[in-house]
Structure 1
Amino acid sequence: MDKLHHVIEAQQFSRERLSDIFAVAREMEQVVSRYGSNILNRRVMATLFYEPSTRTRLSFESAMKRLGGDVITTENAREFSSAAKGETLEDTVRIVQGYADVIVVRHYESGAARRAAEVASVPILNAGDGPGQHPTQALLDVYTIQKEVGRLDGITVAMVGDLANGRTARSLAYLLAKYEDVKVYFVAPEVVRMKEDIKEYLRRHGVFFAEEEDLFKVASIADVIYQTRIQKERFGDRTADYESARGRYIIDRELLKVMKDRAVILHPLPRVDEIHPEVDADPRAAYFRQAHNGLYIRMALLKMVLNA
């Protein structure tokens, strides 16, 4: 298998590659339990984040530091870098690659990570590109499903919420197609239904999917409920569309009653009102454990792309 270099999109991964990443992630859990490692000593990671981030940015930076490396960063690359003066993403990458061994990019435009990779001599890791993809989130999502449910073949997954703008749901759909006998239910308000390109990809790969309006019906058969936030920032001036979508599907105590005992609830976070806080204490609420798994996945990716 070729060495892992850039991480741009979820569909770039084979099932064999996914198994390798998850094996290294399990090793990283042990590394963290031993207070870190120095395998990336004297290596530098640059983070270029043109959109806000908490979990992704901090987990990447923590991952690099826990492996002995260093981090250089921009607080808000859209405002506090030369992008504010008109510099292109490509030129920024050409400059920053001279300062760092790997670059993590989050951008507001779909396809930005691929553009960065086309001019980069160092690995580019896509930390989310607008409404396009978020492959490292999808990796940690599938890793979490494997840990929580115990298998990846033969599972039923309900994707709920903003599926049109949700890059995390898009990337997860691509990865689920790598596994056998997976069933996917899309539960979304009409204005934010899953886009046709994902549905066509699932058709081509023989993955069963259906669009459903009744969340309670789907929750009763799902092994995984993947809830997402209605993303107000993607609606622009379409206020009416946003208001028609928000609050439509909420996970609360009543929904818990119909869920399977061994099912899990995931969410890429942040949440607004789509998961009631009363759900947090239920053992099926796995979203905080899910977020913590992001550290191990991102440590694994850094180790692999830097050939450590």
Structure 2
Amino acid sequence: QLDDIIESQQFDRDILNDIFEVALEMEKIEKNSSRRKILRGYLMATLFYEPSTRTRLSFESAMKRLGGEVLTTENAREFSSAAKGETLEDTIRTVEGYSDIIVLRHFESGAARRAASTASIPIINAGDGPGQHPTQIIGLLQASYLDEQLVLHQ
């Protein structure tokens, strides 16, 4: 079981295959309007200290398409209490009180790990500076997996 998604090294082949199977199931659910509310009642916070339109919108659209809600903070580095000196840990403690999961993009390598150590809710690393961006890697691997599945079923 994965509580947090922090780095690509935490995934072995079996976990990745499970993720890809769940992703395929989520696509089916998203297309079936009667089951589209699987995440109703859940709230995801996107806390972005760096700009990234594609990453932020992909998380937000997935959450909304499955019935969840989103709290979003763009440019948290400039337009949040971080600009007044609040630590990442303090921000995480505050935001976790409002949401069920936090998607974090930060300019410092290792920030997602620090956030996960602080939070009592799941943290997804959407990029931490020059460090990790595991969801991007998973997306690339999923495309390869889907190509492989297509070849196997021809």
Q: TM exceeds 0.5?
A: yes
Matches within 5 A, 1:6-17: 6-17=4-15
One of 17, 30, 33 as aligned partner of 1:32:
30
Aligned to 1:108: 107
Matches within 5 A, 1:31-50: 31-35=29-33, 37-50=36-49
Structure 2 CA distance for aligned equivalents of residues 75 and 133 of structure 1: 20
Structure 2 CA distance for aligned equivalents of residues 132 and 75 of structure 1: 20
Greater relative contact order (Cα < 8 A, sep 6+) = 2
Q: Secondary structure at the match of 2:98?
A: coil
Deviation at 1:34, TM superposition (A): 2.6
Q: Secondary structure at the match of 1:51?
A: coil
Aligned to 1:69: 68
Structure 2 CA distance for aligned equivalents of residues 73 and 54 of structure 1: 12
Q: Deviations over 1:150-178 (max 9, x none)?
A: 17xxxxxxxxxxxxxxxxxxxxxxxxxxx
Deviation at 1:37, TM superposition (A): 1.3
Structure 2 CA distance for aligned equivalents of residues 69 and 141 of structure 1: 25
Structure 2 CA distance for aligned equivalents of residues 141 and 16 of structure 1: 16
Aligned to 1:147: 146
Aligned to 1:258: none
Contact 2:51 2:74 (8 Å CA) reproduced? no
- 2:12 alignment partner AA: S
Note the aligned Cα RMSD (angstroms): 1.2
Deviation at 1:29, TM superposition (A): 1.9
Aligned to 1:209: none
Aligned to 2:152: none
Runs of 4+ in 1 over 6 A off after TM superposition: none
Matches within 5 A, 1:273-284: none
Structure 2 CA distance for aligned equivalents of residues 55 and 75 of structure 1: 12
Q: Deviations over 1:41-74 (max 9, x none)?
A: 1110001000011111001001111111100111
* Structure 1 position 22 matched with structure 2 position 20: yes
Deviation at 1:33, TM superposition (A): 2.5
Q: Deviations over 1:249-281 (max 9, x none)?
A: xxxxxxxxxxxxxxxxxxxxxxxxxxxxxxxxx
Structure 2 CA distance for aligned equivalents of residues 85 and 125 of structure 1: 25
Q: Secondary structure at the match of 1:100?
A: coil
- 2:108 alignment partner AA: E
Structure 2 CA distance for aligned equivalents of residues 98 and 51 of structure 1: 22
Deviation at 1:32, TM superposition (A): 2.7
* Structure 1 position 88 matched with structure 2 position 87: yes
Aligned to 1:134: 133
Unaligned runs of 5+ in 2: 150-154
Q: Deviations over 1:104-159 (max 9, x none)?
A: 000001000000000000000000000101001100100001223x17xxxxxxxx
Unaligned runs of 5+ in 1: 152-308
